[in-house]
Chains A and B, each alone.
Chain A
Amino acid sequence: MPINWNKYDTGPFHDELVKRPGEPRTYATDLCDFIQDLSDAELQEYKAAADSAIKVMGITFRVYNDEEGSIDRAWPFDIVPRLIELKEWQQIEKGLKQRVKALNMFIDDLYNEQKIIQDGIFPKDLLTHSKNFLPQCKGFSPPLGIWAHICGSDLVRDQNGTVYVLEDNLRVPSGVSYMLENRQVMKRVFPEMFRQYDILPVDNYPSDLYDMLAALSPRDIPEPEIVVLTPGTYNSAYFEHAYLAQQMGAELVVGDDLVVDEDNCVYMRTINGLSQVDVIYRRIDDAFIDPEVFNTESTLGVPGLMRAWKAGKVALANAPGSGVADDKVVYSYVPQIIEYYLDEEPLLSNVPTYRCVNPDEKAYVLANIEKMVVKPANESGGYGMLIGPHATPKEHDEFRKLIEDDPRNYVAQPMLLLSTAPTMVGNEVEGRHLDLRPFILSSKDVCVTMGGLTRVALVKGSTVVNSSQGGGSKDTWIVDMEGS
């Protein structure tokens, strides 16, 4: 049976492609018609073509579990793309740039004068208890005052179609390679649609990333040495590290490849001997980058790296300590942060967030926990979260205790009804919840990816989109409808 959009149930949610059963959104009409005209066999063919492209291209990620240890899995991918109109996207893009600009000013301020604290906007106490604030960075300001050169912000849409920022990832955000690869797969599978639509290209990212990194080089030379520092093949995002290095023509290095000499310069070991490195795009967490300063047990990092960075001999992206703003408590202050530094109204909304560190907000969360999403301040990848409406009373109690024990570490948000998009389930399409992670690059200029990585919860009713927890992804098409 071919797909019948009259039978597609959008439920109480905002669906990205279909307004109500049988009525696709204007910009999705051509796509929905195309899909409707496919026979079951053709649909399966498209799906198989995508799966085989993914397998052959070796698009994988690593997951850890107790039974099997670390395994390499093919990237779960849905062939129905997610569409956003260009004119809406341009507004979102402005909002993201504004947000990242303010966040960078905030980080720089925290490590230096702390004006925002003196002016009573941001409580000092929160900083003292922040796990990601690195005292070693105090009094230092990296070139251009920019700390988070690469930011991945997660966007969601609620039942009314309003876009919210769910969180900002300022440490080592991942996923951009999947955004690029998804597009490659779609071009192999659905070439017809690319003729039908004006789909804005995404493949500028590697050269934008290269330019951004090159602009950070301490040495003023035409071709600075840029390297991508990876923890190695066992890291869940190793595929991405290799991919980005390859696309930029940069060396992919592990900690052992680098050495900091007495001149505080960083060198890599090559077949010609030592060769100086100017910019390190590091994909290792702060705690592991330099065993001289942080985790002394770390074998992933490079002894002396902090020394070299503070001496201005090497640029690190993102700068160590950027994570201080990648904290779900800090998140709740972003609207004030934007107003404080830029004197502008925030263009993108924050999800209302209750900070358990404040007694009355904590009381509200404890009383309404079964309706809320509770998040630890410093975890990523969807770990350590409670989704109240989906959890058992026992889990509610466990989280009540966790919050009581360490209120600073928890925030809670009302359960948003996340938007959905049609997703292949067998030969049918059903709505599945999704989010969007655009990537924002900042050095001399700020630029945003065209769209980003759409992550989709493949399990019916689930809102957890992380690939480590059963999520998949879709290609994201920013479509220009004005031209056609």
Chain B
Amino acid sequence: MLSRVANNLCWLGRYLERAENTARLINVNSNLLLDLPKSIVLGWEPIIDIVSDRTTFYAHYDMADEHSVLNFLLVGPNNPSSIVSSLEFARENARTIREIIPREVWEQINELYIYGDENHQKALFRRSRYDFLTEVIESVQKITGILAGTMTHDEGYNFLKIGRNLERADMTTRIIDVRSATLLPETETEQSAFENLQWMSVLKSLTAYQMYRREVRLRIRRPDVLKFLLLEERFPRSLLHTLQEVKGCVQNLPNFAAVSHELEVVEKMLMAANPQTLIQDKLHHFIDDVQLGISQVFIKLEETYF
């Protein structure tokens, strides 16, 4: 497999995952805002922190009202992580490797990009937002499904999966970091009903709510949520699971030792963590370390294969 193609496949996986994740994030935040009382000012700024940064945002918008933030997340100028940009990059990547991926997948990606480009205005309005976002999420899921069902699970497929899981790992850490730091003022003792709601939204952003409930029957508590999102190896969006997926893929590739080593470093870090004590700054620093570890994995991947 050509190095350039491997690189493109990896990024194709990333961009598709990114579009899906951003769509989920918007959906969940829209719902959360409807549930919170007016006294809790939560707004959309944290979402900017998750997918990008405020400097980039405020360079183009005066205020972080719903309309501006959504515009930024959907098509925003200078926001390479917007849904439409992600879909566009995914399509460009797919175009340069059209001959590698199944034709049906190319057609789906192309169609999804056209859909996103032509219909993103729908998401600006609460009424039609859900439909648009669901369409994006479901289309990406469909693409993932067709890939799994029709593409030879060869090296190329492994690169796609690596890209998807690294992006997922990255998103999971960002959501935990931002949500817990800026969105959830920690009251040591009692948990308000709304805090509960907010942790629920963290789970929902990662489609983890239902699975969490099946696993942990007690009421929603920060340490349990963290433990689930970081360490539940059977849940496909937990950090540990995504890293193990990457490791499984890498082991199907030639010369995997260096990448595998970096993965083990992060894994050990996760295993050693105690969710009970990960509060505020400590959690923030921990997530920082994990993110550095993940970027080390990516660097080694680039050095070895691209």
Contact = CB atoms under 8 A, between A and B. Distances in A.
A128 interface: no
Nearest to A244: B99
A56 B107 contact: yes
Interface string A23-59: 0000000000000000000000000000000011110
B53 interface: no
A87 interface: no
A270 interface: yes
Given A233-B95, A246-B103, A252-B99, A268 B110 contact: no
B228 interface: no
A233 B92 contact: yes
B37 to A, nearest CB: 46
Contacts of A245: 99
B98 A271 contact: no
A266 interface: no
B253 interface: yes
Interface in A135-183: none
A257 interface: yes
A243 B111 CA distance: 18
A245 B95 CA distance: 13
A102 B130 CA distance: 65
Contacts of A285: none
Interface string A243-272: 101110011111011000000000011111
B96 A233 contact: yes
A242 interface: yes
A69 B138 CA distance: 34
Contacts, number: 62
Interface stretch (B2-10, B24-32, B171-179): B2-10
Contact of A271 (B6, B92, B106): B6
Interface in A252-302: 252-254, 256-257, 268-272
**Chain A contact residues (Cβ within 8 angstroms of B): what range?**
20 to 34
Contacts of A268: 2
**Chain B contact residues (Cβ within 8 angstroms of A): what range?**
20 to 34
Given A254-B4, A257-B2, A271 B107 contact: no
B99 A271 contact: no
A55 B92 CA distance: 15
A49 to B, nearest CB: 15
A271 B110 contact: no
Q: Which 4 A-B pairs have the closest CB atoms?
A: A246-B99, A242-B98, A245-B99, A58-B110
Interface of A: 55-58, 228, 232-233, 238, 242-243, 245-247, 250-254, 256-257, 268-272
29 contacts: A55-B110, A57-B107, A58-B98, A228-B99, A232-B96, A233-B95, A238-B95, A242-B96, A242-B97, A242-B98, A243-B99, A246-B98, A246-B103, A247-B99, A251-B99, A253-B2, A254-B4, A257-B3, A269-B3, A269-B4, A270-B1, A270-B2, A270-B3, A271-B1, A271-B155, A271-B253, A271-B254, A271-B304, A272-B254
Interface of B: 1-6, 92, 95-100, 103, 106-107, 110-111, 114, 155, 253-254, 304-305
Given A252-B97, A271-B155, A272-B254, 16 more contacts: A55-B110, A58-B107, A58-B110, A228-B99, A233-B96, A242-B96, A246-B98, A246-B100, A250-B99, A251-B5, A254-B4, A256-B4, A257-B3, A257-B4, A271-B2, A272-B1
